Amino acid sequence: MKIAGLKSVENAHDESVWAAAWVPATESRPALLLTGSLDETVKLWRPDELALERTNAGHFLGVVSVAAHPSGVIAASASIDSFVRVFDVDTNATIATLEAPPSEVWQMQFDPKGTTLAVAGGGSASIKLWDTATWELIATLSIPRPEQPKPSEKGNKKFVLSVAWSPDGRRLACGSMDGTISIFDVARAKFLHHLEGHFMPVRSLVFSPVEPRLLFSASDDAHVHMYDSEGKSLVGSMSGHASWVLSVDVSPDGAALATGSSDRTVRLWDLSMRAAVQTMSNHSDQVWGVAFRPMAGAGVRAGGRLASVSDDKSISLYDYS
């Protein structure tokens, strides 16, 4: 299990790159890397050369997250001004512009079947679910407020930052500023329970593709936690980063974890050992996003790709094997 640098693009954007996602391959083209930046653009890159496919404008204030539909045809990008732009990957035609004021927009993810887009709603302490056919807001999953909120406490502790679908699409997890992770039953639009253990913002969440209950969380406390999302238990805790863990992703084979951190490194974790096996220090600033390319054929690890994006304006591509 290792990653090896394939290609890096310096100054891929004019400003910090904050978001990355892979657009799955379609019949006409291979998978593309989608990146979003403070420079208000979204760019598409073709691996392995990381050739710039297209630059999408249309956002004001920095782009904080990008997400791709499992079909690979459409994608969404969101910025600090709380607009979500849904567009056709190949033509860049705007399909929809979503907003649900006063809710902000942070991380987004399409459900595995591609029928719903889940959007972390920031200060609204909720996840917004959008129908991908009609682009109507179909549900708002709110985190129940604590029984007796202290009047002295300013700000909203349940500020939702991150969101993740379980591989079967039945559960949604969201991470908040106060470190709690909330699990929802999507079908019933019902809050199930909290997962505790973090006390600092959880900026990234991902379910294991092979063990549907297993959830990984990245937090500002420099730890990655492994939870049994159903059993409400903390399975493991992994430390090693020197600063905030900003992003986490699981490899398609479910054996490895990649994390990006404010300590400027990308780490590869062997889940069987629960230990970091590799540390990449090629970025010179915070690594805001890491993303494994979804596997075309299941079961083969060869040809795996990992991308990382950073405040240093660069993007990097690695071979994962």
Partner 1 sequence: MASVYIPVQNSEEEVRVALDQLPRDASDILDILKAEQAPLDLWLIIAREYFKQGKIDQFRQILEEGSSPEIDEYYADVRYERIAILNALGAYYSYLGKIETKQREKEEHFILATQYYNKASRIDMHEPSTWVGKGQLLLGKGEIEQAFAAFKIVLDGDRDNVPALLGQACVEFNRGRYSDSLELYKRALIVHPDCPGAVRLGIGLCRYKLGQFEKARQAFLRVLQLDPENVEALVALAIMDMRTNKVGGIRRGVEKMHKAFEIYPYCAMALNYLANHFFFTGQHFLVEQLTETALAVTTHGPTKSHSYYNLARSYHSKGDYEKAGLYYMASVKEINKPHAFIFPYYGLGQVQLKLGDFRSSLSNFEKVLEVYPDNCETLRVLGHIYVQLGQVEKGQEFMRKATKVDPRDAQAFLDLGELLISSDTGAALDAFKTARSLLKKGGQEVPVELLNNIGVIHFERGELELAEQSLKEAVGDGVWRSFIEGKVNVSTADATACTRLYKDMQIFTQLEADNVNLELPWNKVTALFNLARLLEQLHRMEIASILYRLIIYKYPDYIDAYLRLAAISKAQNNIQLSIELVNDALKVNEKCPNALSMLGELELKNDDWVKAKETFRAASEAADGKDSYSTLSLGNWNYFAAMRNEKRAPKLEATHLEKAKELYTKVLVQHNSNLYAANGAGVVLAEKGQFDVSKDIFTQVQEAASGSIFIQLPDVWVNIAHVYFAQGNFALAVKMYQNCLRKFYHNTDSHILLYMARTHYEAEQWQDCKKTLLRAIHLSPANYVLRFDAGVAMQKFSASTLQKQKRTADEVRSAVAELQNAVRVFSQMAAGANLHYHGFDEKKIDTHVGYCKHLLEAAKVHCEVAQREEEQARQRLELARQLALAEEARRKAEEQRKKQLEKRKLEDEQKRVQQQEEHFRRVKEQWKSSMPASKRRERSDADDEEGGHSEKRRRKGGKRRKKERSSKSQYETEEAEAEIDDQEDEDAHLNYGEPADQMHDQDDEAEENAQGVLAAAGLEDSDAEVEAVPPVNASRRRKAWSESDEEEEQRPESSPVRENSAELQESDGEFMADKEKPNRDEAVDDED
The reply on whether position 245 binds partner 1 by CB under 8 A is no
CA angle 227, 233, 235 (to 5 degrees): 50
SS3 assignment, position 254? coil
The reply on whether position 145 binds partner 1 by CB under 8 A is no
Q: What is the distance between the alpha carbons of residues 290 and 218, in angstroms, rounded to a whole number?
A: 12
Select the residue interacting with partner 1 from 45, 87, 106, 165 (CB under 8 A): 106
Q: How far is the CB of 178 from partner 1 (least distance, A)?
A: 9
* Binding-site size, partner 1 (CB under 8 A): 62
Q: How far is the CB of 47 from partner 1 (least distance, A)?
A: 26
The reply on whether position 286 binds partner 1 by CB under 8 A is yes
Q: Which is nearer to partner 1, 6 or 137 (CB)?
A: 137
Select the residue interacting with partner 1 from 81, 90, 211, 319 (CB under 8 A): 81
Q: Which two tokens stand for residue 209?
A: 């593709």
DSSP letter for 45, please.
Answer: E
The reply on whether position 234 binds partner 1 by CB under 8 A is yes
SS3 assignment, position 54? strand
The reply on whether position 144 binds partner 1 by CB under 8 A is no
Beta carbons of 43 and 87 less than 8 angstroms apart: no
Q: What is the distance between the alpha carbons of residues 34 and 92, in angstroms, rounded to a whole number?
A: 12
Beta carbons of 179 and 164 less than 8 angstroms apart: no
Q: How far is the CB of 2 from partner 1 (least distance, A)?
A: 19
**β-strand 116-120 against 108-110: which pairing, if any?**
antiparallel
The reply on whether position 218 binds partner 1 by CB under 8 A is no
Query: Measuring CA to CA, which residue among 149, 159, 208, 165 is closest to residue 179?
Result: 159
The reply on whether position 142 binds partner 1 by CB under 8 A is no
The reply on whether position 92 binds partner 1 by CB under 8 A is no
The reply on whether position 285 binds partner 1 by CB under 8 A is yes
Give one word for 303, left, alpha or beta, with left for phi > 0 and alpha for psi -120 to 50: left
DSSP letter for 143, please.
Answer: P
Select the residue interacting with partner 1 from 5, 6, 15, 58 (CB under 8 A): 15
The reply on whether position 196 binds partner 1 by CB under 8 A is yes
Site for partner 1, rule CB under 8 A = 15-16, 18, 38, 60-62, 64, 80-82, 101-102, 104, 106, 122-124, 152, 154-156, 159, 161, 177, 179, 193-200, 220-223, 231-244, 261-264, 273-275, 285-286, 311
